[in-house]
Structure 1
Amino acid sequence: MTAVPAAGAEEAAGERGHCARQHTLRVPGAEHQEVSCLDELTTAGTVASGHTDPADWAGLTPAGLETPDGVPGIQIDGYFPDGSATNTNHGWMHDSQFVVRLPDRWNGGLVVAGSPGVREQYANDRAIADWVLARGYAFASTDKGNTGVAFHRDGRRPGAAIAEWNERVTQLTRAARTVVAQRYQRPPQRTLATGMSNGGYLVRWQLENRPGLYDGGVDWEGTLWRTEGPNLLTFLPPALRAYPVYAAGGAGAGQAHREMVAAGYPAGSEFLWPYHHRYYWDLTQRIYREELDPAFDGATEAGTPFCAPGTPACDADYDYASRPAEVHRAVDRIALTGRIGKPLITLHGTLDVLLPIGEGSDVYARMVRDAGRDGLFRYYRIEGGTHVDSLYDVFPDRLRPLTPCHRSAFAAMEDWIGRSEAPAAGHTVAMPGEGRDPLTECPLGHR
């Protein structure tokens, strides 16, 4: 992979040396900020110094992923004004927390990310921040304005909590660009958005709605919100109905398996279904349905865990298509269109059974094409990839980690916007061959 050349060694010497101008840095719009001069901005140092939270990124990367080091610089932690308090980091009990990292040796670029899932601002530190910081980028990340399994309590109407995610990424991007200019005495030459899962959704939304803030983006298995479907609320309920019947075996197992496959969970991914049933499908359906359709279960908050079909107001019986128009309007407030305004690379694992590829990125690729924006888009289907890379440690003979594929896609985006070298055409990237290290290699093919 080709690195973007550093802006110059002058950033690491003289008045532009270690943590220069740290006392002059002000994050526009921040209600509170704390500026720290660190000998190490990657997790090789921030774990010990307390400038990250390992619990926030637990489970997102394979255990054998290398941790880069040797990146001194400035870290700014803080928060923007917000009335919700789900984020407990630093004991602040305040949402809209952010982190901005400014390496001493800067390559002229800025990377902005929103957190995956309902995690906090440090969730991208191992999978994304470590690597881009080691390449010389400034890095900024946000908690999206609300966190945790009760994120849906934020906002005054259905869909408002998720809509805030987009606003907070825009807010942080604008603020981070200003802070970069304060630190290095010139604005960033390129600004890239990237993120995984919900963070990938944020990349798509930003490039559709705020393209002037960015030069490009890399979307790692982004969540698809589409008013007419598919979306989370269309493919999770069938899994909640069919999987227990399939798992029980017996006469109904074959039909239940067919229903799972029809809902988007590919044949060959069955070994991943028990884990996702236990930890993901039920919880995800209930909390996102509560955010977008709280009236479904009346006064009950986020449904009844693992309820049996036929139980009153059971999420296993949820039918998005038949829900009232106001539910569809709530989804429409956060929906994607495919009308991207800057280059975008999407990658998605073929064995993702939280956000099945056939119900997500395959559809989004068609949306981009139908919007006439396919010249700005590349889509790589990663054979053997699943939603979280920690599962590679459990099934190393059946899965591959997506982190190296994200790095290859990011490097391809650098060449695309920096050298006008278009990436390889979209295709399915085969499993690593003999002698390939899946922890470090994921070639995307020739242009």
Structure 2
Amino acid sequence: MPLPLAVPYAAALLLSVAALPAVVHQQDTSASGHCTRIARLHVPGAEHQEASCLDELTTAGTVASGHTDPADWAGLTPAGLATPTGVPGIQIDGYFPDTSAGNANHGWKHDAQFVVRLPDRWNGGLVVAGSPGVREQYANDRAIGDWMLSRGYAFAATDKGNTGATFYRDGDAPGEAIAEWNDRVTELTRAARAVVTQRYHRPPSRTLATGMSNGGYLVRWQLENHPELYDGGVDWEGTLWRASGPNLLTFLPPALRHYPLYASGGPGADEAHRAMVAAGYPAGSEFLWPFHHQYYWDLTQRIYREELDPGYDGSTEAGTPYCAPGTPACDADYVYASRPPEVRRAVAAIGLTGRIGKPLITLHGTLDVLLPIGQDSDVYARMVRDAGRSGLFRYYRIEGGTHVDSLYDVFPDKLRPLTPCHRSAFRALEAWIGHGRQPVPSRTVARPEGAGPGTLLEECSLAGKETGF
């Protein structure tokens, strides 16, 4: 079966993004109701902003109006995911002061871009998200934003302050580009709460953080470091950064070393397979390995290693693509444990602790082979437990889920999309913080036997069969 033609998603994936048309600022033309007092709205701290009165805030309207970028969210959702409609309101695009210029949206060539959407029919809540991978501020529009807006939430998203596969050029020291991601989410949360108050004349009754991959990491970090800003969060396969490991730099190099030998099928293939499984890539996920080797593992390793350990390859920038083991400074030979202490200090500066201060729900697919579950969320769950915060945490391991939901279209008999599971987790969080209803205990959620696309695209019961982990 052919792979998707849409540009796939990974924590490190670059997208070819065309500049969007300039946003047309629309003055307030009504005395009340739709877009009332639009000209008075101001995002605190923004260097530039443009507000638009839209008849449709979801991608059902923003694609045509130029208020989103489809390239930014390509490959993040299954093709059959429904698009909600009927959400008029105000969209504010803009950017905060910044010195980097990787984000070309709107022709601004300015990072720290954001989008804030304010629906006319507001439910009192605000959802804030950081972008996955190194994508831009519209990356969550299909997977998260559309659904939140259709349920009445105000929605705010950020590009995290640097974008693209050369994001590591931002900052003056190793790890500073990633550290900026956390600062930008905090900055946007505070600003979005203020502009929501301006628009609706009262502050949000609940502020929730959510995101996938790097966006999930940002949820974890915010609830550990700024719990006062949020009422809770949902982490969708967040990236784990931990100075002592595991982290990307511990489990990606073994894949680069061993996968080619396994794929060759020659002598040593069985041993290479055992090494892959030992590194965290579960038996049964082999059908996903060729795709991830082609698109994800190599680029992800090189650019994140360059961000955190630029000295490994000297003056070379982000290593040599697909180098063979034994090649000087090859990332396939990278051994995190043998690197100088300053590398672990750089990781520690962006690292997670598990000391969350508000309710958090984490979900992770058991067939994730970009961030293998045993090297990521299984570990984070133990960190939360060891920090004594289990009462604030639920963890759902989704059987058959993988890091790229569009791959469900290619392997519908083996995978399940995580988008419906994220929505179930979000509803569970709402009931938890809004009504005190405890979510079902942490568990592995089985993939329903014989379930067809209609079921898997729309349903994900977290109260499925309970198994240990």
Same fold per superposition (TM over 0.5): yes
- Specify which of 201, 204, 225 is matched with residue 220 of structure 2: 204
* Further displaced range: 437-446 or 407-416: 437-446
Alignment of 1:30-429 (within 5 A): 30-429=46-445
Write the distance in 2 (CA, Å) between the matches of 1:397 and 1:433. Answer: 10
Q: Secondary structure at the match of 2:462?
A: coil
Counterpart for residue 443 of structure 1: 461
Q: Secondary structure at the match of 2:405?
A: coil
Write the distance in 2 (CA, Å) between the matches of 1:250 and 1:125. Answer: 45
Matched residues, percent identical? 81
One-letter amino acid matched to 1:154: D
Write the distance in 1 (CA, Å) between the matches of 2:320 and 2:76. Answer: 27
Quote the offset at 1:16 in angstroms. 5.5
Q: Secondary structure at the match of 1:381?
A: strand
Structure 1's 271 and 435: CA in aligned 2 closer, same or farther, altered over 3 A?
A: closer
One-letter amino acid matched to 1:441: E
Quote the offset at 1:101 in angstroms. 0.1
Write the distance in 2 (CA, Å) between the matches of 1:21 and 1:407. Answer: 32
Quote the offset at 1:433 in angstroms. 3.4
One-letter amino acid matched to 1:438: L
One-letter amino acid matched to 2:387: A
Quote the offset at 1:42 in angstroms. 0.2
* Further displaced range: 143-152 or 14-23: 14-23
Q: Deviations over 1:139-178 (max 9, x none)?
A: 0000000000000000000000000000000000000000
Write the distance in 2 (CA, Å) between the matches of 1:217 and 1:237. Answer: 31
Q: Residues 355 and 387 of structure 1 are in contact (CA less than 8 Å); yes or no, is this contact kept in structure 2?
A: yes
Quote the offset at 1:435 in angstroms. 4.9
Write the distance in 1 (CA, Å) between the matches of 2:302 and 2:31. Answer: 53
Quote the offset at 1:15 in angstroms. 6.2
One-letter amino acid matched to 2:211: G
Write the distance in 2 (CA, Å) between the matches of 1:185 and 1:258. Answer: 60
Write the distance in 2 (CA, Å) between the matches of 1:149 and 1:250. Answer: 34
Quote the offset at 1:432 in angstroms. 2.2
Q: Which runs of 5+ in 1 are unaligned?
A: 1-13
Q: Deviations over 1:192-225 (max 9, x none)?
A: 0000000000000000000000000000000000
Q: Secondary structure at the match of 2:234?
A: strand
Write the distance in 1 (CA, Å) between the matches of 2:128 and 2:230. Answer: 9
One-letter amino acid matched to 2:310: P
Quote the offset at 1:105 in angstroms. 0.1
Structure 1's 351 and 16: CA in aligned 2 closer, same or farther, altered over 3 A?
A: farther
Q: Residues 16 and 184 of structure 1 are in contact (CA less than 8 Å); yes or no, is this contact kept in structure 2?
A: no
**Backbone CA RMSD of aligned residues:** 1.0
Quote the offset at 1:434 in angstroms. 3.6
Q: Deviations over 1:96-121 (max 9, x none)?
A: 00000000000000000000000000
Counterpart for residue 7 of structure 1: none
Q: Residues 200 and 221 of structure 1 are in contact (CA less than 8 Å); yes or no, is this contact kept in structure 2?
A: yes
Write the distance in 1 (CA, Å) between the matches of 2:149 and 2:461. Answer: 22
Q: TM-score under structure 1 normalisation?
A: 0.96
Q: Residues 144 and 166 of structure 1 are in contact (CA less than 8 Å); yes or no, is this contact kept in structure 2?
A: yes
Q: Which runs of 5+ in 2 are unaligned?
A: 1-29
Quote the offset at 1:20 in angstroms. 1.3
Write the distance in 2 (CA, Å) between the matches of 1:412 and 1:391. Answer: 26
Write the distance in 1 (CA, Å) between the matches of 2:325 and 2:301. Answer: 14
Structure 1's consecutive aligned runs of 4 or more residues displaced over 6 angstroms after TM superposition are none
Write the distance in 2 (CA, Å) between the matches of 1:15 and 1:166. Answer: 39
Counterpart for residue 6 of structure 1: none
Quote the offset at 1:400 in angstroms. 0.3
Q: Deviations over 1:424-447 (max 9, x none)?
A: 000000102345610000011189
Quote the offset at 1:17 in angstroms. 1.3
Number of residue pairs the alignment of both structures matches: 434
Quote the offset at 1:90 in angstroms. 0.5
One-letter amino acid matched to 2:150: A
Q: Residues 382 and 429 of structure 1 are in contact (CA less than 8 Å); yes or no, is this contact kept in structure 2?
A: yes
Q: Deviations over 1:69-114 (max 9, x none)?
A: 0000000000000000000100000000000000000000000000
Counterpart for residue 34 of structure 2: 18
One-letter amino acid matched to 2:463: G
Q: Secondary structure at the match of 2:326?
A: coil
Write the distance in 1 (CA, Å) between the matches of 2:39 and 2:106. Answer: 21
Q: Secondary structure at the match of 1:354?
A: coil
One-letter amino acid matched to 1:42: T
Q: Secondary structure at the match of 2:456?
A: coil
Counterpart for residue 5 of structure 2: none
Q: Deviations over 1:351-397 (max 9, x none)?
A: 00000000000000000000000000000000000001000000000
Structure 1's 171 and 353: CA in aligned 2 closer, same or farther, altered over 3 A?
A: same
Q: Residues 432 and 442 of structure 1 are in contact (CA less than 8 Å); yes or no, is this contact kept in structure 2?
A: no
